[in-house]
Amino acid sequence: MKNIWICGLFVAVFTFAIESRACTRVVYFGPEQTVLTGRTMDFAIDIPANLWLFPRGMERHGQVGPNSLQWVSRYGSIAASSWDIATPDGMNEKGLVANMLWLVQSEYPPFDKDGDATGLTIAAWAQYVLDNFATVNEAVESLRKEEFVVVTDFIPGTDKFTTVHLSLSDATGDSAILEYVEGRLVIHHDSAYQVMTNDPLFEEQLAISSYWRNIPGTVFLPGSNRASDRFVRASYYINAIPQTSDPLLSVASVFSVVRNVSVPYGISTEGQPHISSTRWRVVADQSRSVYYFENVLTPNVLWVDLNQVNFSAGEPVRKLVLDAGQVYAGNALEHFIETEPFEFQGL
């Protein structure tokens, strides 16, 4: 019986352990409506981030030609940028968090910039959600109508074609995962969906979760950097850490989980070119509207309390420059400077 169990475990681990770029997202529930979302940003090349404060009332453009989606932001937000051309992570003033993670299997609908369909660059997908919705349910009900096409392209200057899925969570603890599968939008919507990694598709990640529920985490947890193993560890630890409303303990606990599932800096795995180093980490305290950021190349955690930010329409966009190794610790709001908003990369 023991040999059969070990063989089954071996097969299950290696069946689901496909190559992927490594990011992980977790949602934490504590007492007194405490909700936090943590994530790692892992990538094969350096992906410099800056933090941006966007007010309400911003006029936005989908950046894919004459039929681009256009909107005016309803909510203010903080966003972490990639190369100042995209928003892969952020939280708005209502506590809605959006995280983009790589998904090699993504297949988006065809888009003709001279056709009739309305388009939105994938670089602004997360920002569109942060700008327009207060809750996961609001976002899901709107996005499932598919009133626009998400349009992707290569990351400028690279051979990397952008393929991502989007996770959402809100201050109530609700959660959703949005993926494009064979050109069709698939939405998984349930507060039980606390953990997401990269490949495989989320439906298959749920199968991994179901298998590992039968194996106590106190007995065995898979330890590699592969997406399936990180999914298992994150799923176990996010519910094993102290469940508390204390902001210091809850934030520290969630950071401990995202560090556990991070990929050590400089790691490369022979035959696994898509397993990538962790570049930065975020913990968003949605109960208290505080956004924590940690760059792995600097020794400190900084944070921004959104309760102290004036998001009124007409207020300036502000930026915290981090992409040249600048070091900040603690509340960094005073170090943001007025600047023009970046333009989302499009067609």
**Residues with catalytic function:** 23
The C-alpha angle 53, 47, 311, rounded to 5 degrees, equals 5
Contact 135, 191 (CB under 8 A): no
Q: Which residue carries 């709001």 as its tokens?
A: 333
Q: Which residue carries 């899925």 as its tokens?
A: 165
- Write the CA distances from 117 to 109, 243, 285, integer angstroms: 10, 46, 37
Bridge partner list, 47: none
Contact 130, 87 (CB under 8 A): yes
Bridge partner list, 70: 61
Question: What's the rounded Cα separation, in Å, for the pair 87 and 80?
Answer: 6
Instruction: Give 16's Cβ-side CA count (13 Å radius).
Output: 29
